[in-house]
Amino acid sequence: MTKLIYVAIISAFVNNVVLGQMFGVNAAIKGSEKMSNALRLSLCVLIVTFLSSVITWPLSEFVLGKFNFEFLQTIVFLLVEAIIVAILTAIVNRWFSHRRKIYGRILPLIVINSAVLGVILTNVQVGYSFLRSAVNSVCGGLGFAIAVIILAGVRERIAFNDVPKPFEGVPILLVTSGLMAIAFYGFTGLL
């Protein structure tokens, strides 16, 4: 149990998906424009990462691994993600139709979010057990959420500041992420 908490802290903080491993930086920058959007994006990433890792782990262990077809991982995992996203879109359209417009914009982009693909590929390539990869993907999703939400919060503040003209837009967000990355290194001391 302590082992899993340890894994959780590592993947959510010390080796944060966005700030440490640098997966899904574009999605984080784009998604942090508004706090409400950041929350929705994080939720989608979390759900899709978890569901796809639960499906792709056995798929890679018992099907691809058995025939030594590891090279198919990328395309097969992307198809799994796409199917999950299609199902989630159908669920939103059916039961949450008042939200369909908002999620209709977010969900299709999850397929090409490198945070999701990065986490599920790492899980199988490093050779984690099923439980550990499930924990790792939930915490990877949480790590993404933490980064995006903090970034969205900081962005609200930046809006009231005078940023040097050339640094307006993406550069100042990258500088912010860099500072956050330094701060997150501090979590190394926890372990």
**Applying CB under 8 A, which residues contact another protein?**
3, 10-11, 14-15, 19-26, 29, 71-75, 78-79, 82, 108, 111-114, 117-118, 121-122, 125-127, 129, 132, 136, 164-172, 174-175, 177-179, 181-182, 185, 191
* Residue whose CB is less far from another protein, 37 or 114: 114
Q: How far is CA 107 from CA 22, 53, 140, 163, in A?
A: 21, 17, 18, 32
Closest approach, Cβ 25 to another protein, in A, equals 5
Tokens of 73: 């991982």
Cβ distance to another protein smaller for residue 13 or 50: 13
Contact 72, 36 (CB under 8 A): no
Question: Cβ(64)–Cβ(70) under 8 Å?
Answer: yes
Residue (75 or 159) nearer to another protein, CB: 75
End-to-end CA distance of the chain: 15
Shortest distance (Å) from residue 109 CB to another protein: 8
Give the shortest CB-34-to-another protein separation in angstroms: 18
Least CB distance from residue 81 to another protein, whole Å? 9
Q: Which is nearer to another protein, 22 or 55 (CB)?
A: 22
Tell which phi-psi region holds residue 24, choosing left (phi > 0), alpha (psi between -120 and 50) or beta. left
CB 49 within 8 A of CB 190: no
